[in-house]
Chain A
Amino acid sequence: MVAKTRSTTKDATRRYHPIQILSPEGELLGPSPTIKDEELVKMLKFMIVGRTFDQRALSLQRQGRIGTYAPISGQEAVQVVSAMCLNDDEWMFPTYRDYAAMYVHGMPMRDLFLFPMGHPQGGRAPEDVNIYAISISIATHLPHAVGAAWASKIKGEQKAFITYHGDGATSEGDFHEAMNFAGVFQVPLVTICENNGWAISLPRERQTHSETIAQKGEAYGINSQMVDGNDVLALYQVVSESLERARTGQGPTFIEAVTYRLGPHTTADDPGRYRSQEELDEMKQKDPLVRTTKYLRGLGLLSDAEEAEMWEDAKATVSDALKEAENIAVPNQDFFFDHVYAELTPNLIKQRREFIPEEAE
């Protein structure tokens, strides 16, 4: 007897196109989701803070005041809007590039500076902020996000979880294992792929032969969406719906948000070696800040003066945070002994006794 397969030809040939509501010129292409005016303004405000933080961090790195830094310019919309859709008591599992998302979810900007400064307080949020410790290796945090969401489901909570990764991460085994578990156990997790076009020097087309990244979620039986990652309205619609699905027991969602990394992979990278100025110039036309500003102007929600004030406020916020970060004391050279196990083991006690500190640089 031949077993019946569940998928149909129609399912198998589903094509994904990025959902877009706002054109790059800031004009509506379809009905906008319901968003309060002040929320729209807040989106732009956070995006401007993100861009300002990014520019400052890049210049600080060149001055040697912070270490290696992974810029976010171009990706502010997806980070800001998705984080705004998450409730404070819900959890975020970020990557090292999700500065704007973390900031929106409550991470003090001081700590965002401390991370590239190599200070231990930078990689982890304060106790009352629901953000997981930042993962450096690619995709390894995705099964953790699935596990936490699964645990929440077992505990009978009605919370949604959000996690991020890049286009490069979709080639890692942990991405696939995490997606598979998310599907099988129907965990309340929204996974957002910030497809920024490049994984260091490798373009998206060479990362996978799949036509889209979104379709990879479908392969795991997960509700999958593709969205213009520079379009705040489309992002709001897709992410808020997906989080609501998670909260109400309708399972996980995978979102491919198509965006662009306007800067280098990190401050240690020179994109001039692998991508053209023409491409960059073209992508700058799709800058989410420009698009959102135009839209708010069109709605009459933003004057010249208000826009200028947003940039000034952002500069002040960033400068204050930097000052705070630079004034935070370096921990004792032997502090790391305290964070290996809950209690020092005999070998660590012995090694700490014999420890010879060096001066911090």
Chain B
Amino acid sequence: MAKLTMVQAINQGLKVAMESNSDVVILGEDVGRDGGVFRATEGLLDLFGGDRVADTPLSESGILGTAIGMAVYGLRPVPEIQFMGFLYPAFDQLVSQAARIRTRSTSRFSCPITLRVPYGGNVKSPELHSDSLEALIAHSPGVKIVTPSNPYDAKGLLLAAISDPDPVVFAEPLRLYRSVREEVPDGWYQIELGKAKVAREGTDVTVVAWGSLVPTCLRAAQLASQEGTSVEVVDLRTVSPIDEETILRSVTRTHRAVIVHEAPKTAGLGAEISALIAEEAILDLEAPVTRVTGYDAPFPVPVVERSYVPSDRRVLEAIRACVKF
């Protein structure tokens, strides 16, 4: 057991996966000699060679498209796209191909790909480096999307994704890559996909979040507790399929729900979760479901991005309003 950052935990997860399964291969831009732009694949080229850690041309659709062919032919590719905003050029291959190979072939072919892709803002990066596309992906049947909020989850969810028989987008919140270190077990362990985690228990209001905003929500919950409000924070871990049971179990106890995400508000996953609560638990509610999200504008430039990404303060305000209602 060692104290690792999230990016180190991901690196270790990849190493463990490649050691235990020779079908696991990595491909992407700068993943080999350079070790990845965030060093997530550092050292793997030396350990496993160029056949299994392939530096590719600059070609997102080519990376994902060839990964699909590899997966269909029995490998377990783990392609990397450098930023989620660069997934747009590969989006056709993701939603019309990877997600549909099983359907198209009535399960003769499957597509066990783990597509690693860093996402999220507040890291002062240029345009398209900060987008959060989980809602677009969640709207595409046939593909799953997972996002860790801490180093331990990152490794366990990554190994579960690599073991999954279907395509999984593994969205890595890049501002959490090096923000904390925590104990991460050596060797192989998995965190089941499709299961949320109650990251903090509470009784007055449920805050649902995932990936990059879980630490924000935990801080807001801590601030609320100083005002006498007990906040439960649900970390979805898997964004699609959503763990409806855990959300509903929490909301029917706390009777209040705040949903927090970084992506734009309209047609974001907050809308889906809000509809779920309305369909299944509306009579349990003491207050309207509240969303704290990015705005319906493209992710802005670095000098104003801190006002776009939900902050501790905005989440705390929403919690207060919800409790006061």
Residues of A in contact with B (beta carbons under 8 Å apart) = 91, 120-121, 123-125, 127, 132-134, 137, 140, 142-152, 154-155, 173-174, 177-178, 180-181, 184-185, 336, 338-342, 345-348
Contacts and interface: CB of A to CB of B under 8 A. Distances in A.
B102 A339 contact: yes
B68 to A, nearest CB: 5
A332 to B, nearest CB: 12
Contact of B70 (A121, A151, A336): A151
Interface string B99-117: 0011111111110000000
B85 interface: no
A121 B106 contact: yes
Interface stretch (B52-60, B252-260, B308-316): B52-60
B242 A347 contact: yes
Interface in B86-128: 89, 92-93, 96-97, 101-110
A91 to B, nearest CB: 8
Interface of B: 25, 51-52, 54, 56-57, 59, 61-62, 64-75, 77, 89, 92-93, 96-97, 101-110, 141-142, 144, 164-166, 194, 241-245
Contacts of B144: 341
Given A133-B104, A340-B141, A341-B102, A143 B245 contact: no
A341 B242 contact: no
Contact of B166 (A123, A185, A341): A341
Contact of B73 (A148, A180, A347): A148
A341 B107 CA distance: 8
B73 A140 contact: no
Contacts of B54: 185
Q: Chain A contact residues: over half helix, strand or loop, or mixed? A: helix
B106 A120 contact: yes
A27 B75 CA distance: 48
A147 B51 contact: no
B65 A146 contact: yes
Contacts of A155: 74
Contacts of A124: 104-106, 108-109
B194 A150 contact: no
Given A133-B104, A133-B105, A144-B72, A181 B166 contact: no
A342 B65 contact: no
Given A133-B101, A342-B165, A342-B166, A151 B65 contact: no
6 contacts: A121-B106, A123-B105, A140-B93, A147-B69, A150-B70, A180-B59
A118 to B, nearest CB: 13
B92 A137 contact: yes
A351 to B, nearest CB: 11
Nearest to B99: A340
Contacts of B67: 147
B65 A140 contact: yes
A181 B65 CA distance: 10
Given A148-B70, A151-B75, A346-B241, A180 B62 contact: yes
A145 B69 contact: yes
Given A121-B106, A137-B92, A181-B56, A346 B194 contact: yes
Contacts of B242: 347
Given A154-B51, A181-B57, A345-B241, A133 B66 contact: no
Contact of A339 (B68, B106, B244): B106
Name the residue in A120, A133, A143 with the highest tally of chain B Cβ atoms < 10 Å from its Cβ: A143
B166 A152 contact: no
Contacts of B93: 140, 143, 174
Contacts of A340: 102-103, 141-142
A120 B166 CA distance: 20
B52 to A, nearest CB: 8
A174 B75 contact: no
A132 B72 contact: yes
A66 to B, nearest CB: 19
A341 B142 contact: yes
By Cβ-Cβ distance, the 5 closest A-B pairs, closest first, are: A147-B69, A143-B65, A177-B62, A147-B66, A144-B69
Nearest to B67: A147
B111 to A, nearest CB: 10
Nearest to A335: B106
Contacts of A336: 103
Given A137-B92, A339-B102, A341-B166, A143 B141 contact: no
B103 A339 contact: yes
A91 B101 CA distance: 16
A359 to B, nearest CB: 21
Contacts of A133: 101, 104-105, 108-109
